[in-house]
Chains A and B, each alone.
Chain A
Amino acid sequence: SSELTQDPAVSVALGQTVRITCQGDSLRNYYASWYQQKPGQAPLLVIYGKNNRPSGIPDRFSGSSSGNTASLTITGAQAEDEADYYCNSRDSSSKRVFGGGTNLTVV
């Protein structure tokens, strides 16, 4: 299967920890990357590979993977982390694929 499945919405209390998950068969063979998108903006890469952050991404963002599930964890969520988060990978035919996205609310 080339699908990646995410929960549509997640909420977290300010300063607490939240995990956003992404499931798909392709994740058994390929890492997911994670993107943050705020309204009216282009997506921004926040995590890639095993657990790598691009320059400028706060270290409260981390990634992990087990079996067919990739996870994005935000430790100590801030108000500015409220956004849509998408996972992305490739399938066995080399096509790229995105998860449906998770809307994160910080309360």
Chain B
Amino acid sequence: EVKLVESGGGLVQPGRSLRLSCAASGFIFSSYEMNWVRQAPGKGLEWVSYISSSGSTIYYADSVKGRFTISRDNAKNSLYLQMNRLRAEDTAVYYCAREEISTLVRGVILGYWGQGTLVTVSS
């Protein structure tokens, strides 16, 4: 069974840092591209960052570029999101999501999601 479990969320003051983790199990983690997606309270889904299976290719949303860093440890089956210089507008539930492998479909397929971890940025 594919499982993604996020952790590391909590209450943090503006300007401080937080590191989120996503523990993966039930599949060969090193074969899959991964994403972080967030959802502010009462708002829609916002893509945050992508990392390739090897970690060699990374993309960020403009809203977090320069402040957030995505990484992965394939030996530990884990995905990370280092969040620096946090702002109130970063308050959201953060989900990690597995991107499915498909040679036939031109697009993005986020087939599995964790339950999310809540980050609250407030003084």
A contacts, CB < 8 Å to B: 29-33, 35, 37, 42-45, 48-50, 52, 54, 84, 86, 88-90, 93-101
Q: Decide if A96 touches B50 in the complex (CB within 8 Å).
A: yes
A contact face: mostly helix, strand, loop, or mixed: strand
Cβ-based interface call for B88 (8 A): no
Nearest residue in A to B111 (C-beta to C-beta)?
A45
Tell me the number of A-to-B contacts counted with CB atoms below 8 Å: 78
- Can you list 12 residue pairs at the A/B interface with Cβ under 8 Å? A29-B106, A30-B107, A42-B114, A42-B115, A49-B104, A49-B105, A84-B44, A88-B45, A89-B108, A90-B107, A95-B50, A97-B47
**Residue from A45, A50, A101 whose CB has the most chain B CB atoms within 10 Å:** A45
- Specify which chain A residues have a CB less than 8 angstroms from the CB of B108 in the assembled complex: 30, 33, 88-90, 96
B contacts, CB < 8 Å to A: 35, 37, 44-47, 50, 59-61, 95, 97, 100, 102, 104-111, 113-116
Nearest residue in A to B114 (C-beta to C-beta)?
A42
**Residue from A30, A42, A52 whose CB has the most chain B CB atoms within 10 Å:** A42
Q: Decide if A45 touches B104 in the complex (CB within 8 Å).
A: no
Our pick among A52, A93, A96, A99 for the contact of B105 (Cβ within 8 Å) is: A52
**Residue from B46, B109, B114 whose CB has the most chain A CB atoms within 10 Å:** B109
Q: A10 CA to B63 CA in the complex, in Å?
A: 29
Chain A: minimal CB distance from B116 (Å): 6
Q: Decide if B109 touches A98 in the complex (CB within 8 Å).
A: no
